[in-house]
Structure 1
């Protein structure tokens, strides 16, 4: 994930599971999202559905000094840590094991203003 680049990020629950089973799950997801990602991305839009989510984000320009290892991309590491944290908490809360999310989250780079606008609308209209 490149500094200064916007992305449509999305992922789905593994199998027939839900990512969010109760209101508190949504709150916790957003709390962990903020904890792991607020220093590396800007969030422009999001939609949380019971079994999937969509985000429109921009990777911040200056990410120097945000990871202990120069070869690790701070945005990718932030998302990885965030998903792992949320999965561990949900597994513990609901006495489940294994992956909560489909393996790799999807990230589509936004390459034009038109694509950004279309993605923004798509995310907001997703629940409809």
Structure 2
């Protein structure tokens, strides 16, 4: 596991050391990356498609596997597993490529994403599954879709076999269910009871998404 300090900025003449994120080969993260000042990072359908293509290229370049994702209006959620390259390189490449595209298209300058993405190590099987559920329910909780499969910009439609986005790795997630059952995974995600309310609150707190659910 890597535990290092990085000198990041000066505050009143004093340098501040920021701890690098924990990483080891095979580490799994829940990542949330938000638009700078929480501004929208997608303006049309093409923007979503471009970021998904950039993610696909980034996964191949940095030997990572994507287990779940959701592209919201002003932020993205990723459930991602690293290989032998630490997660920061993947995120830097992905963010910079999309920023170049976005700024060129709309005539903007400067940052598109907040400089410090939020991440949480996912170490337990139960937490992995709950995070997958949390990510896929984001549009429903934000009242952007009645059901997760109605939302086009997440991995859920791929997970349940409606389509194939070419970037989502389904095997690890479905392996938690008897006979890799898509039906049981779907039932797990779409359970409308209050069975998972505590887990949802914990995940939201851990990733720093502590505001009320909002339609973006």
Q: Which TM-score band applies after superposition, normalised by the shorter structure?
A: 0.7 to 0.9
Q: 2:125 is matched with which residue? A: 113
Shift of 1:16: 4.5
CA distance in 1, matches of 2:38, 2:119: 22
Displaced runs of 4 or more, over 6 A = none
Q: 1:47 is matched with which residue? A: 70
Which of 25, 44, 47 is matched with 1:3 structurally?
25
Unmatched tracts of structure 1, length 5 or more: 64-72
Greater relative CO (CA pairs within 8 A, separation 6+): 1
Q: 1:12 is matched with which residue? A: 34
Which of 10, 23, 36 is matched with 2:58 structurally?
36
Larger radius of gyration: 2
Over aligned residue pairs, what C-alpha RMSD do you find?
A: 1.3
CA distance in 1, matches of 2:80, 2:133: 14
Q: Deviations over 1:87-108 (max 9, x none)?
A: 0110010011111111111111
CA distance in 1, matches of 2:111, 2:73: 16
Which of 6, 24, 45 is matched with 2:46 structurally?
24
CA distance in 1, matches of 2:86, 2:78: 17
CA distance in 2, matches of 1:16, 1:80: 18
CA distance in 2, matches of 1:92, 1:42: 29
Bigger proportion of residues as strand: 1
Bigger proportion of residues as helix: 2
Unmatched tracts of structure 2, length 5 or more: 1-22, 141-216
Conserved? CA contact 2:48–2:71, under 8 Å:
yes
Q: 1:122 is matched with which residue? A: 134
Q: 2:103 is matched with which residue? A: 91
